[in-house]
Structure 1
């Protein structure tokens, strides 16, 4: 099987030594034909060593760039090695490897396929300001994408060859840039998006940021991130695409 036919699983990881090994093993057990690359985002623990022992190819960044920088590295690897399909799976275990094939199936009809948490599957719940922000973001980005989306902050998303090229050209590293900004820019560049319902799992080790204060901050920062993405607009997206073609 050539890289064109194979799937690259990109796992961004920062200090995920307690989770990444099990995540890589689960992916490989789900489908041994998947190629797994872990992008070690400047971790200070043994993330890289554990990922390599579990059977992943490891790309180690010299310092922490954030999810956006890690994913752009992964997409660059995908393009250089001839992959036509790539999908992000988070190292913390929340993305179920059993759903990878379902999310990839969305690429049969679109350039980008999102594994959506709020699409009548699973029991993933978010309340308060964080939920308000997610609803607002989904409705706004749905208008840009010209299709109904319920979860535009999900990192569980797949990209075809065209989307991989777009992400290499523009994949911001600022807060929510890897989800909201990259998605809006892709839509402005003419790429199509779909979503596939999935059920998220609880994080195995470590605690996600929650609480009323954190949720309120999330609301403000997400709206700000969306504003920046919308301000960049179609003109800039087309300019980036033309620059990448040169």
Structure 2
């Protein structure tokens, strides 16, 4: 089965090459597609030189739009969504793909180690409770961007949206249509947002975009 990895990226020139090179060591990965979502740094050039296929947006449209562009560009049987800043820990992607190859589930969700610096869990709990209320599924890692899906699950997903609510939306859609979801522990590590101004601004933006997705799924009931 063909496995494609989609990496949405915005100004990730300092880390994305390490992520791509780690993925290229895996025989299971046949295709790596980076969606450069309007970066103003060298993300496009660095990704190309590291060996990825790159789709370039002229404007920053958001994570959902970036993933949608990637989906239009691949015919893979299994699609993996990964963050750009995983660096060498991207090799853990095999743990996400294996359960799908074994037909144990339709979507895997990576459960990363607890960050050393984190917030208060407000956004995470908001997402978890919203998913449970609207789909009946309870997750430990509702916001994880590290996921693998088969074509059945992809066909079950509605509009991906344009921001940080993409994972919440795809989880609700897949669960509502009977897809089998499985959380998988992975030793991946990405950029952490602490309890400083940058971290609070990031989580505030997450909260608003997740609320928008939850409202749209509530209206679709």
- Larger Rg over CA atoms: 1
Shift in alpha-carbon separation, 1:124–1:151, aligned structure 2, 3 A: same
Shift in alpha-carbon separation, 1:69–1:202, aligned structure 2, 3 A: closer
**Runs of 5+ unmatched residues, structure 2:** none
Deviation at 1:197, TM superposition (A): 1.2
* Separation (CA, whole Å) in 2 of partners of 1:155 and 1:218: 15
1:1-246 superposed matches below 5 A: 5-31=1-27, 33-78=29-74, 82-93=75-86, 96-107=89-100, 108-117=103-112, 122-125=113-116, 127-129=118-120, 131-167=121-157, 169-174=158-163, 176-203=164-191, 208-211=192-195, 213=197, 222=206, 224-233=208-217, 236=220
- Residue by residue, what CA displacement relative to the aligned partner does 1:33-64 show, whole Å, maximum 9, x if unpaired? 43111111111222111111111111111211
- Residue by residue, what CA displacement relative to the aligned partner does 1:81-114 show, whole Å, maximum 9, x if unpaired? x211010121112682222111123332332211
Deviation at 1:209, TM superposition (A): 4.3
- Stretches of 4+ moved more than 6 A in 1? none
**Runs of 5+ unmatched residues, structure 1:** 238-246
Further displaced range: 10-19 or 136-145: 136-145
Q: Is the 8 A contact 1:181 1:229 kept in 2?
A: yes
Q: Whose helix fraction is larger, Structure 1's or Structure 2's?
A: 1
Shift in alpha-carbon separation, 1:187–1:20, aligned structure 2, 3 A: same
Q: Is the 8 A contact 1:10 1:88 kept in 2?
A: yes
Q: Is the 8 A contact 2:16 2:87 kept in 1?
A: no
Aligned residues: 219
TM-score (norm 1): 0.76
Alignment RMSD: 2.7
Further displaced range: 87-96 or 40-49: 87-96
